[in-house]
Amino acid sequence: MPGPDNRSVPRHVAIIMDGNGRWAQQRGLPRVAGHRAGAEALRRTLQAAADNGVEVLTIYAFSSENWRRSEEEISDLTALMRYYLERELKSLEKERVRLQLIGDYSAFGPDLVQRLEKAVERTKDNDRLTLVIALNYGSRAEIAAAVRKLAARVAAGEIQAGEIDEQSIDSELQTHDLPELDLLIRTSGEVRLSNFLLWQAAYAELLFLDTLWPDFDEKAFTHALDRFASRQRRFGGR
Ligand code: FPP
């Protein structure tokens, strides 16, 4: 899609926000300080995404593997999410950001679930940018759930097994109503997808940056968009 200055702007960007712990460690701070700084980086990135005409930003806030962290860190992360939701809801509304969730977020308990669902409900008509937060998300579990639903429809005689195709699997994923993923960014130098959007990333550009997530800012985001645009141009020229 051509952007304001005729660049190719990705419609859907996903980010694995990695490196909060190392950022804190480098400063002799507790890990939670890294997550707090990470929440600020998310705020900056959300603004930059909206300003640059990105339609959907999907962030990996908590993976299904993150339950292996210490109880203290898990409770710090959930407290931070609660605080962020409380504090940011007004600005999400002001900036016309629609919030959506993927992953089995029911695992976070009734209080946070209620706050999350309230934020989704309150922002559902916003149309500037969609922020999708992946919470207790795992891509393989998502694909398995989609396959189970299709198998149940086969068992009920609604569809034939032979009719199952890429489209029917896609339409059972939690991302079924979002545009195709164009660009996936991972910060902190790790070159892995870590069970994030495996199906959705089939044709996405993958960008692995050395920046630690708390240092990510508008400049880093526009740099990522430029890299995307130049790869698109190369591809188009072939
Ligand atoms: C990865 O860094 C980051 C996380 C597991 C959590 C991401 C959470 C935030 C950015 C907080 C804000 C989120 C919301 C939705 C308010 P890491 O701890 O794995 O870093 P390390 O690899 O350096 O240890």
Query: Can you tell me which atom of ligand 1 is nearest the CA of 80?
Result: 16
The tokens for 192 are: 């892995």
pLDDT digits (tens, 9 = 90+) for 6-52: 559 999 999 999 999 999 999 999 999 999 999 999 999 999 999 99
pLDDT digits (tens, 9 = 90+) for 117-165: 999 999 999 999 999 999 999 999 999 999 999 999 999 999 999 999 9
Q: Residue 237 — very low, low, confident or very high, per pLDDT cuts 50/70/90?
A: low
16 Cβ inside 6 Å of ligand 1: no
Distance of CA 176 to the CA centre of its chain: 14
pLDDT digits (tens, 9 = 90+) for 43-97: 999 999 999 999 999 999 999 899 999 999 999 999 999 999 989 999 999 999 9
Query: Can you tell me which atom of ligand 1 is nearest the CA of 60?
Result: 7
17 Cβ inside 6 Å of ligand 1: yes
Q: Could you give phi then psi for residue 58, rounded to 5 degrees? A: -110, 125
46 Cβ inside 6 Å of ligand 1: no
Which residues partner with 15 through β-bridges?
A: 59, 185
If you take atom 5 of ligand 1, which residue's CA is the nearest one? Answer: 62
Which residues partner with 208 through β-bridges?
A: 186
The tokens for 169 are: 């699997």
CB 99 within 8 A of CB 120: yes
81 Cβ inside 6 Å of ligand 1: yes
Query: Mean pLDDT over all residues of the chain?
Result: 94
3-state SS record for 28-81? CCCHHHHHHHHHHHHHHHHHHHHHCCCCEEEEEEEEHHHHHCCHHHHHHHHHHH
pTM for the predicted model, two decimal places: 0.94
Which residues partner with 137 through β-bridges?
A: 63
In the reported structure, the alpha carbon of residue 21 is separated from the centroid of ligand 1 by a whole-number distance in angstroms of: 7
103 vs 32, 99, 112, 145, CA distance in Å? 23, 14, 14, 11
If you take atom 8 of ligand 1, which residue's CA is the nearest one? Answer: 61
137 Cβ inside 6 Å of ligand 1: no
CB environment 39-76: b (16+ within 10 A), e (fewer): bebbeebbbbbbebbbbbbbbbbbbbeeeeeeeeeeeb
pLDDT at site 3: 47
Q: Could you give phi then psi for residue 113, rounded to 5 degrees? A: -60, -45
Query: Can you tell me which atom of ligand 1 is nearest the CA of 24?
Result: 23
Specify the residue for token string 């300080």: 33
